[in-house]
Amino acid sequence: MNALQLLDYAGVAVFAATGALAASRKELDIIGFVFFAAITGMGGGTVRDVVLNSPVFWTLKPAYVLVCVAVAIVVFFTAPMLESRYRLLLWLDAVGLAAYSVLGAALGLSVTGSPVVALVTGMMTATVGGIIRDVLAGEPSVLLRPEVYVTAALTGAAVYTALSYFGVDRAIAAGVGVLAAFLVRGGALRFGWSFPRYKSRPGRPPEEQE
Amino acid sequence: MNALQLLDYAGVAVFAATGALAASRKELDIIGFVFFAAITGMGGGTVRDVVLNSPVFWTLKPAYVLVCVAVAIVVFFTAPMLESRYRLLLWLDAVGLAAYSVLGAALGLSVTGSPVVALVTGMMTATVGGIIRDVLAGEPSVLLRPEVYVTAALTGAAVYTALSYFGVDRAIAAGVGVLAAFLVRGGALRFGWSFPRYKSRPGRPPEEQE
Amino acid sequence: MNALQLLDYAGVAVFAATGALAASRKELDIIGFVFFAAITGMGGGTVRDVVLNSPVFWTLKPAYVLVCVAVAIVVFFTAPMLESRYRLLLWLDAVGLAAYSVLGAALGLSVTGSPVVALVTGMMTATVGGIIRDVLAGEPSVLLRPEVYVTAALTGAAVYTALSYFGVDRAIAAGVGVLAAFLVRGGALRFGWSFPRYKSRPGRPPEEQE
């Protein structure tokens, strides 16, 4: 449980850092950094809790908010350094994605008992914060990028859910799930893994495609 | 009740198909198809349930999630065929819109007892999924298109609410409401029905319009 | 309490007017005006209530919906006049922002008892409606504009929260908070107040910034 909580705070912090970096790309002021850090760091968990009809986690433990504020301030003053380490940040983001996919699935499974719901809440917790960040920043959503991202979240949620559904100890299931999601996302970052994409037939007139 | 439940699954499936088609227009991979299908098929009902403080429907009946997954897979492999039948899809979408406007109004009315709330939840259930789909896909929101769309949803919700408020049997009210919404949307599709739009005075300098 | 409720209706009406004006800029029909007015007027409070696990305010008091509808209709027929008074509207919007930042903080504080949560819900109530409006209208989010906006909301929430946390009578705390937020936003409108913005180092190659 303690390890999971540590993962939780680490995930919030890493996602908050990506939100603050989006703010730096838009050249916002310090409050803009805090806002984007908070939305990206806590957005996915907020939607997860609302959908599961649970109290929203940061209304119970406001320390999460302070983590986002602290990260935003640090990034505001150190972003030139961080931007030149964007690749490092992508890897940290992969850690956050992996942790969140498992945490989301664990909460979904414990609240509803349904493996299908656990897959959805795992995918949601890991991706919604980044989606909101991209939409607010006016950047193309992570969903439209060619790289494997949602799939990595789904992998972590699926591995955790399958293992714990079949009786594996939950701490072990969590560890294996985080590792699996991180390997998929890491492989995408390192080797450019992607799935075959749908291709329209060429020569189709645009009005039919609308 | 059984007829309404059938309508419900049909509505989720049809909306999920429009989400998967948006994914095909963006040339996403299979997981992207599933994500867009799920958001479009279940988004409106999710927001409706959250706003009404009810448990979110697909957390109670995960079969809805599986419907979206199945639709996404079918569309992924058959989209070239479906795209050339886009007009058929628009008509199926009109069926979904009609069904959802009534289902949303019925839930809003039964939870709060307020006809005004029923109109809002009816409109919301029928339109929010498509709005989220358009925002995520980076396409102009359905709200900004000239065709009658939100109005059709409002019509279905209003007819159902008025009839059942004045004591008409709810199954009959639902049938008439679905028919009314479908006729309005169908008329817009077939005859290009639209309301007069607001027109700025010409020659107005841009800085005043901001 | 009565003064606060008056402020509440005034805030909804003023925000609804800004939503209807966004609809006029997009040249929508009357239903489009109603939709944008409702989303902008009630969006922030809806998200606030959902996050606090409270019943959504307009499902309990549907009169708020009717206020938005009335405002939308008035703006639809008088927008040419209002547009030429856009500066007046910005100032009314500042009143709404000020009122909402305090109302949101007050609800957050009374539900959770946490000052940190109160700051977040105050900021959220005052800004989310406008953010949704901008995203749906396809306009750059208010977050990306250089002017002090979120900061004014934070000021109102912070002043109210600090005063009432240290035992000041809540009506007085509310009044001072609304005044403080209005002064910050008013100063930004009148004198162009803004915070220093983050600046990337010049000459940085684009691929590193991504």
pTM, 2 dp: 0.87
**Maximum Cα interatomic distance, chain C, rounded to a whole number of Å:** 57
Nearest CB to C27 within list B123, B198, B208 = B198
Asked if A101 and A154 touch (Cβ cutoff 8 Å), the reply is yes
Q: B166 touching C, CB under 8 A?
A: no
Domain coordinates in residue numbering, chain B: 2-190
Per-residue pLDDT band for A54 (boundaries 50, 70, 90) equals: very high
Closest by CA position to A150, among listed A118, A129, A174, A123:
A123
Asked if B160 and B174 touch (Cβ cutoff 8 Å), the reply is yes
* C74-84 as b/e: b if 16+ CB within 10 A: bbbeebeebbe
Pairwise CA distance, residues B70 & B30, whole Å = 11
CB contact under 8 A, B197 and C29: yes
Nearest CB to A35 within list C111, C143, C204 = C143
CA–CA min distance B45, chain A (Å):
11
Q: C80 touching B, CB under 8 A?
A: yes
Nearest CB to A144 within list B59, B60, B138 = B138
User: What would the pLDDT profile of C163-182 be if each residue is shown by its tens digit?
Assistant: 998 899 888 999 999 999 99
CB atoms within 10 A of CB B49: 25
pLDDT of residue A114: 93
**CA triple A30-A34-A38, angle to 5 deg:** 170
Give B 60-79 residues with CB within 8 A of chain A.
Answer: 60, 62, 65-66, 76, 79
* C189-201 as b/e: b if 16+ CB within 10 A: beeeeeeeebeee
Pairwise CA distance, residues C129 & C49, whole Å = 13
CB contact under 8 A, B150 and C35: yes
**Minimum CA–CA partner of B72 in chain A:** A198
User: What would the pLDDT profile of B173-192 be if each residue is shown by its tens digit?
Assistant: 999 999 999 999 999 888 87
pLDDT of residue A162: 96
CA A89 to chain centre: 13
CA C208 to chain centre: 35
Contacts of B108 in chain C (CB under 8 A): 59
Residue A29 dihedral angles phi and psi, to the nearest 5°: -90, 180
The answer on pLDDT for B88 being more than 80 is: no
pLDDT of residue B27: 82
Asked if B210 and C147 touch (Cβ cutoff 8 Å), the reply is no
- Retrieve residue A167's tokens: 């009786």
- Positive or negative: CA dihedral A17, A19, A23, A29: negative
What does the DSSP assignment read for C158-178? HHHHHHHHTT--HHHHHHHHH
What is each CA distance from B85 to A163, B18, B68, C175, in whole angstroms?
Answer: 42, 12, 20, 60
Average confidence score pLDDT of chain B: 85
Contacts of B7 (CB under 8 A, 6+ apart): B99, B103, B178
Residue C117 dihedral angles phi and psi, to the nearest 5°: -60, -40
What is each CA distance from A57 to A47, A49, A131, in whole angstroms?
Answer: 10, 7, 19
| Minimum mean pLDDT range among C15-29, C65-79, C156-170, C177-191 | C15-29
Residue B58 dihedral angles phi and psi, to the nearest 5°: -80, -10
Pairwise CA distance, residues B163 & B141, whole Å = 31
Q: Is the pLDDT higher at A99 or at A207? A: A99
CB contact under 8 A, B144 and C135: no
- Return the axis-axis angle of helices A2-25 and A30-51, rounded to nearest 10°: 130
Q: Is A203 left (phi over 0), alpha (psi -120 to 50) or beta?
A: left
Contacts of C209 in chain A (CB under 8 A): 25, 83
